[in-house]
Each structure stands twice: as structure tokens, then as C-alpha cells.
Chains A and B, each alone.
Chain A
């Protein structure tokens, strides 16, 4: 259980008052115990005050966005911060904006299909890199990491020319989706890290039982690394949902193919820019991501910690 490992309630953390000091039952011990308790209370207050200040920094922007989203146009961008009246219909207005629903659908297609393709294509590669021994394995690994580190802008000109001028798929989601069907470096890397922790005995046993490699992967390994797959899927989902550069390059010439990120920016750009509506749209773009997070929090946090595992 990750939750248990991550639970910060464990007592002996850096700086936490140590138990050893209170072992002796003398008067001096009682004094020491009281001092320790006072120190602990002080520390508790300090830590939690700091925590509340930090939480305010992280959460207040969301609050301001939410409040502005339900203000009237007259009130937005003024000094008064509490909505009067609450204009809940702003959400309705944004939702009814021509195109908004289409952008939603496109974003969902990009995110869901993209995620499935990424997982399906990255898993066998990661498996081979973690479990097969072959010459050049480390070279492949180095190349995977290199592509992971590559800014997407480096190859965008030829890629754009390839998709738009040769295949005439400019203004569709295809240029965004197809590359994901051929393994994503980050996902391969992440899955491999996880697969390394699967003991060799399991795969050996399956092999002895006469399972082919593909069956071993699907029947034995996949059930064991479900959390890793969930983490990779979530990462990819968020990456697609938040992507701006890809849709800007490939879908901008066809509003019917825009995604939310790109549409949101143009929403602000259209002649009638109202901050209240822009913020309402912002809320509607953020909401699904945050909802997905709440449902999949565990797998996600596990995935994040995994990226930095073990030196």
C-alpha cells in the first residue's frame, strides 16, 4: 500500500522528537518529557502554520478563479472580490459557445485514444528492455532517454511538413494520435523501471510452464504491475489533456478539430473578451482533470514517486 508508505504520521522523521529521551522514569526524565512535549507542541504549531500559509498560496488562485467565474461582467476585474450577484449561468453561456462541445469531444478522443495507444505500444518495449538480454540493450535505453529529453519543437518542422503536405492530415487529430501508437519514451522508461522490480522467478516459472513471451507478459506480468500501468495511463491522459503545442500546430486550421487548450486560448481571443466567461471556461477545462485525479490519486502519486526512484 502506497498510502501506508507515504503516510507522514511515522514518528521518527528528521527533527521529530526522539523516543529515546523519555525512557528513564526519574524526575529528570519527567522534566525532559515535559520539555519534549512542549517542544513537540511548538513544532506542531509551527509546522501547521507554515502548512496553512503554503496551502493558501496553492489554493487561493483556484478560489479566485471560481469566484470570478460566477461574477457578472460588470464586477469582474474590479476590486470587489465576492460575487454579487452569483451568475451561475456563466457556465451555461460558456457551454453553449459554438464549438465548446466539439473541443470537449476532441480533447476526450485525444486523451482516451492517445492513452490506450501509448500503453499498448509502450508495454512490450518496456518488457523487452527490462526482461530480455540482448546486445545493444543499453544503447536502446540510452536512445529512449534521449528522445524523452527532446523538446517537441526540435523535429516539428519536418513532422508538420510530413503530415500536412504529404498526407494532407492537417486539421485532424491523426498527427497527434498516430505517433503515440509507436511507443512513448517516457512511458517506456517508467514501465521499465517498474518491471525491473518484478522478480525474475515469476517470468521464469511461466516460461517453464510453456507460456510464450506474450502470454507471460499478459497473464503474469500485467496483473502484477497494474499500478504502474495505471500511473502511465494517467500521465499520458494529463499530457494529452493539457497539450497545447501539438493541437496548435496540427489542428489550428480547422476549428472542428480544436481541443480545449487551444480553444480556450482563442476563446479569450475572440472579440468579446469577458474575464468572467474566460474564468468560467477555465473552470470547465480544469474540472475533469481534477476529478480524474481524485478518483485515481493513489496510482498517480505512486507514478510520480516512481519517476525518481532509487539511485
Chain B
């Protein structure tokens, strides 16, 4: 065993202190705003707690209530999964499509890019209200125009079969972020590969399949995984859409019906609010929160395993 040189040890200690100092904001933030509340959420999920009377141990009751008795849980989970599958797919497809389009526009490229990008910046509450207004089945301009060309308009936000598609339209409208990411990725594809393929007589579709797609695969994966995570947090738009479309929001005391119409816009995050801040059943709200946590972490694990750009390990 060799003794470590005192000077070396001092240097190491200094380096460790330095690391600690630089990392300290995160260490504090991580423990106070992540670890503590997460463990606390687990703790409360086994407690009956209404905010007034001291928490009482209730074993697995909240869990069985949420999974077997709470009528909103399964519809909300189904909706969340529907949105994850349909909304994320369409957003990625359209984002890529618009990205492709914008790389090929020669005239007025700046205008088009800005036009495609702007909706992404619209505040969600404002954008949702605008879409409920635009898609109002009887008075909105969209159905008006559709009627004009002989297509019967849908019920959109007032029809349980159409409310999620309506939300999807809203989400596709805001694909500016994906468009820019895909645009950058597309421009990064080495030109020589296209030239070589063209000499081999490859058509546009083949070039897209065999050159473009493999090159931007990490970006597509990135878009999918972040899209999934965003969709699991999907809260503001469905909440505002449901409240505004129902038209019954004047009577400020009443519990609003979550997920109007017919629970079709209910998502898991809304349940945390419904249970925690309307029914004040903190325990059950924590159960839903943990379900959300497990789902989010499962997708994150998937992301880490695929190693697509998140952990470029060394500098």
C-alpha cells in the first residue's frame, strides 16, 4: 500500500470542494424539490389526509380506491395513451413533413419559416381558447368553410368522438419546435450521399428511405421520446378546452365536470388536480402522481438505453 502524497491529497480535496461548490445549486434543488417531495408523495399515498385533520395511515386503501373505484382513473389513462400514440405520431410526421418542405422552399424562406414557427409560441391558454372558438360546430369559421364546400363539419370539442382529434389538430398546429429541429437535422445530412445515390438512379422516395431517414433517426427518436413525455404532462390544453367548450363555467362555485365532453379530454395530470385540489383527497392524488411517475420513468429509461444524443459522454 502506497501512501498518497499529502500535496496530492490536498489538491484532490480542493477539487472535490470545487466540484461540490459548482454543483451545489443542483444538489440542493434535487434534494429539496425532487427527492423530498417524491418520497413524501409515496408516504402520503398510504395516508388518509384531507388537509385539516392529521394524516392517518390507511394502508393500500387509496391505491385500491384509485384503481378499482375512482371512476375517472381508467378513462384518463386510456385518453393519455390515445394521445401518446396518435398525437405524438402525427406531430412527428407533420413536423418532419414541414421540416422537409421548409428546406426546399427557395422564395420567401424566411417568411415561411416564421409562419410555421409562430404557433409554437402562442401561450397554451390563449391558443386553446382560440381553437375552441374556431372549431365551434355551429358558429366557428372552420365548419362554416367546410359546409361551404359540402363537407359536414364535426362536433369537435363538444363531441366525445371528436374532442381528442380536435386537441390533436391544436397540437399539430404548434409543431414549430419539431420543424426547426428536423430542419437542422436535414441540413446536416452529408450531400455526397445524395449525389452518390442519384448516380445510382435512386428516386426521391428511395433517397428518403435509405439516406435521409437513417441519418436523422436519432432526431426522430428524440422527437418521439420528448413528445411522449410532453404528452404525459398534457394538462393545460385539455383542461381549458373542456371548460371553455362546455360553456358552463360561469357558476364559479360548482365543481366543473372534468374531461368535458363525456370524460373524453380527461388526462392523468388533471386527476391529480381533481383529487388533490378539488376533492382534497391528497392520498389518492399521490397515487395518481406515482402512476404518472412510473410511466414517465419507463419512457426515460427507454431513452437512456437508446442513447440518442442525450448523453454524448465525453467532451
Contacts and interface: CB of A to CB of B under 8 A. Distances in A.
Do A and B originate from a single complex?
A: yes
Interface of A: 5-10, 12-16, 18, 20, 43-44, 47-48, 50-51, 54-55, 57-59, 61-62, 64-65, 68, 77-79, 81, 121-122, 124-125, 127-132, 134, 138, 140-147, 149-162, 165, 179, 181-183, 188-189, 193, 195-196, 200, 213, 238, 241-242, 244-245, 248-249, 260-262, 264-265, 268-271, 273, 275, 278-279, 282, 285-286, 289-290, 293, 297, 301, 304-305, 307-311
Contacts of A268: 129, 244, 249
Q: Is the interface of B mostly helix, strand, loop or mixed?
A: helix
B28 A151 contact: no
Contact of B40 (A13, A15, A134, A158): A158
A150 B38 CA distance: 11
A286 B123 CA distance: 6
B98, B117, B184, B269: most-surrounded residue (chain A CB, <10 A): B184
B104 interface: yes
Contacts of A20: 195, 198-199
B194 A12 contact: yes
Contacts of A182: 25-26, 28-30, 32-33
Contacts of B33: 155, 159, 179, 182
B315 interface: yes
B170 to A, nearest CB: 9
Contacts of B21: 124
B169 to A, nearest CB: 9
A155 B38 contact: yes
A280 to B, nearest CB: 11
Interface in B170-222: 173, 177, 180-181, 183-187, 189, 191, 194-195, 198-199, 204, 207-208, 211-212, 217-219, 222
A125 B118 contact: no
B150 interface: no
Nearest to B131: A61
Contact of A156 (B32, B119, B289, B304): B289
B311 A141 contact: yes
22 contacts: A14-B186, A14-B204, A18-B195, A54-B115, A55-B115, A58-B115, A58-B116, A62-B118, A122-B25, A124-B22, A140-B23, A145-B310, A146-B300, A153-B233, A154-B41, A244-B240, A245-B236, A262-B125, A270-B250, A293-B118, A301-B117, A307-B181
Contact of A196 (B104, B272, B312): B312
Interface residues of B, number: 119
Interface string B5-22: 000000000011011011
Contact of A149 (B101, B268, B277, B299): B299
Contacts of B141: 64, 81
Interface of B: 15-16, 18-19, 21-23, 25-26, 28-30, 32-34, 36-38, 40-41, 44, 51, 98, 100-107, 109, 111-112, 114-119, 121-127, 129-131, 133-134, 136, 139, 141, 144, 173, 177, 180-181, 183-187, 189, 191, 194-195, 198-199, 204, 207-208, 211-212, 217-219, 222-223, 226, 229, 232-233, 235-236, 240, 243-244, 249-250, 252, 268-269, 272-273, 276-277, 282, 285-286, 289-290, 292-293, 296-297, 299-300, 303-304, 308-313, 315
